[in-house]
Amino acid sequence: MAKQINVALIGNPNTGKTSVFNRLTGLNQQVGNYPGITVEKKQGICKLPRGVKAHILDLPGTYSLNASSLDENVVIELLLNKNDKDFPDVAVVVTDVENLKRNLLLFTQIKDLGIPTILAINMADRMKRKAISLDVEQLEQRLETKVALISSRKNDGFENLKELIIAHKTLSTKPSLNASVIAPEYFDRLRKAFPNQDLYKLWLVITQDVNFGKLDRKEMKGVASFQTESTSNLKRLQQKETIARYQFINGVLKETLTIDTANAKDLRSRLDRVLMHKIWGYVIFFAILLLIFQAIFDWSSYPMDFIDSSFASFSEWTKNNLPAGDFTNLISEGIIPGLGGIVIFIPQIAFLFFFISILEESGYMSRVVFLMDRVMRRFGLSGKSVVPLIAGTACAIPAIMATRNIENWKERLITILVTPFTTCSARLPVYLIIIALVIPEQKVLGIISLQALTLMFMYLLGFGAAIFSAWALDKVLKIRSKTFFVVEMPNYKLPLFKNVGITVLEKTKSFVFGAGKIILAISIILWVLASYGPGDFNKASEIVQQQNISTNISEEEIETQIASFKLENSYIGHVGKFIEPAVRPLGYDWKIGIALVSSFAAREVFVGTLATIYSVGSDEEETIKNRMAAEVNPILGTPLFNFASGVSLLLFYAFAMQCMSTLAIVKRETNSWKWPMWQLVVMTVIAYVVALGAYQWLK
Amino acid sequence: MATIASLKKGQRGIIKEFSVDVVPLKLLEMGCLPGNEVALVQTAPFQDPLYLNINGSHLAIRKETAAQIEIDIVD
């Protein structure tokens, strides 16, 4: 079999690099992580003509090879390490025809590494409308490369690009800029010390604070000690390098690119005027948020009800049709309700990522960053914190990873610390089920449902808690770091359905297989703990029958009594009773206590746990919601899930830090256990106190 | 002394020489270089941050950074 061609897709953010990747690989792609770090690694296989295959790696977007974040480090580390198995045979630099000048900076840097490089100019379909004309032949000559004009929107030019990839061996590897023009004397010295090395590579090793592949490090040995220049001098040289590159690019584009500026008044300025208006801008932003929440509550309730009842009848079916015994019980009472607890989240997660990816793809998110920066800064955050805070409504883990582009460390740390307050999708099922139980189904003003309003309030509460604690942290934390902020305002684009679809699919999949595993494992463990017990557990039926020997009650009622006696005396019952004193003041019984404790693995376990606990020993087909509604407080004799205990539970989940994966990611991103431990303790204490206060006040 | 922060909406200027110690490399890479033209497209509410068109790139930066970059106002 012929060797696959290794292709690396490289480009600035907002050039449509991911669309190009999606076009090349279709659904033939996989998303993972680079070993040891949380940077997303996207790769896929692309079939080229004549039976050749290419392995496509979609590298994180970067503006240059001067790395300033973890994501960007990945790019240079790969490009400097010839021994990496992903080291590209050919690099495809994706650029946007409207931002060619800026995008070419990265191109010239890649070219100078001596890697065969293709220049893919994306969004070529816009050229006519924008009155842009390009002398491709001349451009190829001046840059010593091959150019592919493509449009990922119209699916144009990809055949040509594929042919260029096949012919990668014919590409010139001549650098476009002689690095020594930056500082002739300094580079002369470098050349003498390392006669066999590529000068630009040396320069990158000297100026970048990153790890290089094992073997290359040996080759480069001694380079670090060659830092005869001071840091500020190196910085000055980097500035000179950038200026030299732009001079070269300006020269090239002057000969090859013409833009008729008469057509400059375009969609951008017209949309900006409305979307970034000092009043309408905010009104529109909040209207969009409201729409998202209404959609998540209203639209997803239909598939969710369907999933809930399907799993209930499936569980019932297995019970009736499989041979009776422990194994059947494990399936019908442990595994199926556990699986149901995973699948039921899919509609909401899909909706949420659908909206978030539309906001990002369209270019609107940058406008929100711009509008919110001044406001957020009052609370020690950055305008860029808006993205993690919104993404946090899906899941805190990608949200915390999204803080990487916040330049200021203090603002970034505060964002990381407060993001878990935002209402993540794992809290959503807990909220939904409790709201459905304790908030009446009424309409306010005839149209807006009271339940949807309550949900909206919970989201606002999450944001409020995040903002308030950010403000408090800003006052408490003594970190001095340079304030700096730059955000690109990309062109508005109609989101590509394919990109949105792939994002939704990818995120849902990773939820089902990632969080799903934990939920399923916990469901099974809980079932075992609830189905077995010490001492009295095994004599349950004798004891219950003994108690009822003189009373005249039906067989059925005795069965129910036996079941609840068993549950109380099972292992989980003992654990539950042990923690009950701690949760009773909040209005919960020991079963909720168990659900609360297991939620510390992941919040979404709550509903599944209750489903498992309530279904153990029950014979009837019931949905999770009906089972919860039927639970009675043993002391008061009122429904267990009433207004006071419901509100208390909602508040507990709003504030508590119940997610091991988030703690792990915070540890990784802040490089210390101090901050995740701080989050765990402070957030949980807040949650307990607030829930306690609410219950005692409302009961 | 005029800086980017003193531009009025729609006004343009030419960036003068500046020191690397005050202007981050990232901004340079995005096209903010001496000799390039800069125009103020819009300011956010409270006059901060600033939405700029520098050399054909649309970026937003905060006022305090903008105040470090000297310019010659064109019109």
Q: Which domains does chain B have, with CATH numbers?
A: 4-73 (2.30.30.90)
Q: Which of A59-73, A173-187, B4-18 has the weakest average pLDDT?
A: A173-187
Q: What percent of chain A has pLDDT over 90?
A: 22
Residues in a beta bridge with A73: none
A18 is in an annotated binding site: yes
Partners of residue A383 in chain B, C-beta under 8 Å: 49
Q: Name residues of chain B where pLDDT drops below 70.
A: none
**pLDDT band at residue A220 using 50, 70 and 90 as cut-offs:** low
Distance separating alpha carbons of residues A131 and A425, to the nearest angstrom: 45
The residue ranges of DSSP E strands in A430-491, in sequence order, are 443-444, 448-449, 486-488
pLDDT in the model for residue A216: 53
pTM, whole model, 2 decimals? 0.79
Write down the domain spans for chain A.
Answer: 1-264, 265-532+570-699
Assign A488 to helix, strand or coil. Answer: strand
pLDDT reading at A447 higher than 70: yes
**pLDDT band at residue A131 using 50, 70 and 90 as cut-offs:** confident
CATH annotation of A1-264: 3.40.50.300
pLDDT in the model for residue A215: 44
Cβ–Cβ of A242/B33 closer than 8 Å? yes
Tokens at A358, concatenated:
């539309």
Assign A7 to helix, strand or coil. Answer: strand
Cβ–Cβ of B26/A68 closer than 8 Å? yes
Residues in a beta bridge with A149: A121
Q: What percent of chain A has pLDDT over 70?
A: 91
Partners of residue A64 in chain B, C-beta under 8 Å: 29
Shortest CA gap A488–chain B (Å): 4
Residue A84, class by beta-carbon neighbours within 10 Å (0-12 exposed, 13-18 middle, 19+ buried)?
middle
Structure letter (DSSP) for residue A278: T
Task: Please count the residue pairs, one from chain A and one from chain B, whose beta carbons lie less than 8 angstroms apart.
Answer: 104
pLDDT in the model for residue A95: 94
Distance separating alpha carbons of residues A479 and A495, to the nearest angstrom: 39
Q: Which of B37, B40, B45 is nearest to B60 (CA)?
A: B40
Residues in a beta bridge with A53: A47
Structure letter (DSSP) for residue A48: P
A266: left (phi over 0), alpha (psi -120 to 50) or beta: beta
Assign A549 to helix, strand or coil. Answer: coil
Distance separating alpha carbons of residues A147 and A151, to the nearest angstrom: 13
**For B68, nearest residue in chain A (alpha carbons):** A484
Q: Give the relative orientation of helices A643-655 and A674-698 as an angle to the nearest 10 degrees.
A: 170
Assign B11 to helix, strand or coil. Answer: coil
Residues A146, A12: contact at Cβ < 8 Å? no
A36 is in an annotated binding site: yes
**For A246, nearest residue in chain B (alpha carbons):** B31
The residue ranges of DSSP E strands in A446-593, in sequence order, are 448-449, 486-488
Q: Which of B75, B47, B50, B74 is nearest to B61 (CA)?
A: B50
pLDDT reading at A70 higher than 90: no
pLDDT in the model for residue A263: 56
Distance separating alpha carbons of residues A541 and A105, to the nearest angstrom: 79
Residue B17, class by beta-carbon neighbours within 10 Å (0-12 exposed, 13-18 middle, 19+ buried)?
exposed
A231's CB contacts (< 8 A; 6+ apart) are none
**pLDDT band at residue A1 using 50, 70 and 90 as cut-offs:** very low
pLDDT in the model for residue A218: 53
Report the amino acid identity of residue A534: P
A250 vs A202, higher pLDDT: A250
Q: For A386-405, write each residue's pLDDT tens digit.
A: 888 887 887 787 788 778 77
Give the mean pLDDT of A152-170.
91
Least CB-CB distance to A235: which of B20, B29, B61? B20
A305 is in an annotated binding site: no
H or E stretch covering A32: strand A29-33
Is the N-terminal amide bond of A534 cis, ω within 30° of 0?
no
pLDDT reading at A104 higher than 90: yes
Q: For A457-510, write each residue's pLDDT tens digit.
A: 998 899 999 999 999 999 988 877 666 788 889 888 888 888 899 888 887 887
Cβ–Cβ of B51/A370 closer than 8 Å? yes
Residue A324, class by beta-carbon neighbours within 10 Å (0-12 exposed, 13-18 middle, 19+ buried)?
exposed
H or E stretch covering A134: strand A132-134
C-alpha dihedral sign at A446, A452, A454, A459 = negative
Q: For A268-321, write each residue's pLDDT tens digit.
A: 888 888 898 889 999 999 888 878 877 766 777 788 888 888 988 888 898 888
Cβ–Cβ of A373/B62 closer than 8 Å? yes
Structure letter (DSSP) for residue A335: I
Distance separating alpha carbons of residues A461 and A655, to the nearest angstrom: 9
Give the mean pLDDT of A53-67.
89
pLDDT reading at A655 higher than 90: yes
Structure letter (DSSP) for residue A2: P
Residues in a beta bridge with A389: none
Distance separating alpha carbons of residues A560 and A566, to the nearest angstrom: 10
Cβ–Cβ of B45/A63 closer than 8 Å? no
Shortest CA gap A670–chain B (Å): 23
Q: Which of A668, A627, A161 is nearest to A437 (CA)?
A: A627
**pLDDT band at residue A214 using 50, 70 and 90 as cut-offs:** very low
Give the mean pLDDT of A12-22.
90
Residues A298, A451: contact at Cβ < 8 Å? no
Residues A652, A616: contact at Cβ < 8 Å? no
Distance separating alpha carbons of residues A213 and A204, to the nearest angstrom: 14
Partners of residue A487 in chain B, C-beta under 8 Å: 49, 59-60
Residues A305, A479: contact at Cβ < 8 Å? no
Q: What percent of chain B has pLDDT over 70?
A: 100
Q: What is the mean pLDDT of chain A?
A: 83
List C-alpha distances in Å: A484 to A108, A198, A352, A373, A680.
26, 33, 31, 12, 30
Q: Which of B31, B49, B29, B22 is nearest to A62 (CA)?
A: B29
Cβ–Cβ of B57/A239 closer than 8 Å? no
Find the DSSP H helices in A88-230: 100-112, 136-143, 158-166, 184-193, 199-207, 214-219
A321 is in an annotated binding site: no
Is the Cβ of A169 closer than 8 Å to some Cβ of chain B?
Answer: no
Residues A300, A347: contact at Cβ < 8 Å? yes
Q: For A524-576, write each residue's pLDDT tens digit.
A: 887 888 788 887 777 777 777 777 776 667 777 777 677 777 777 888 888 88
Report the amino acid identity of residue A657: M
Tokens at A435, concatenated:
């709201």
List C-alpha distances in Å: A73 to A64, A218, A239.
11, 19, 19
A587: left (phi over 0), alpha (psi -120 to 50) or beta: left
ipTM over 0.90: yes
pLDDT in the model for residue A119: 94
H or E stretch covering A120: strand A117-122
Residues B22, B68: contact at Cβ < 8 Å? yes
pLDDT reading at A617 higher than 60: no
Give the mean pLDDT of A183-209.
78
Cβ–Cβ of B56/A64 closer than 8 Å? no
**For B25, nearest residue in chain A (alpha carbons):** A239
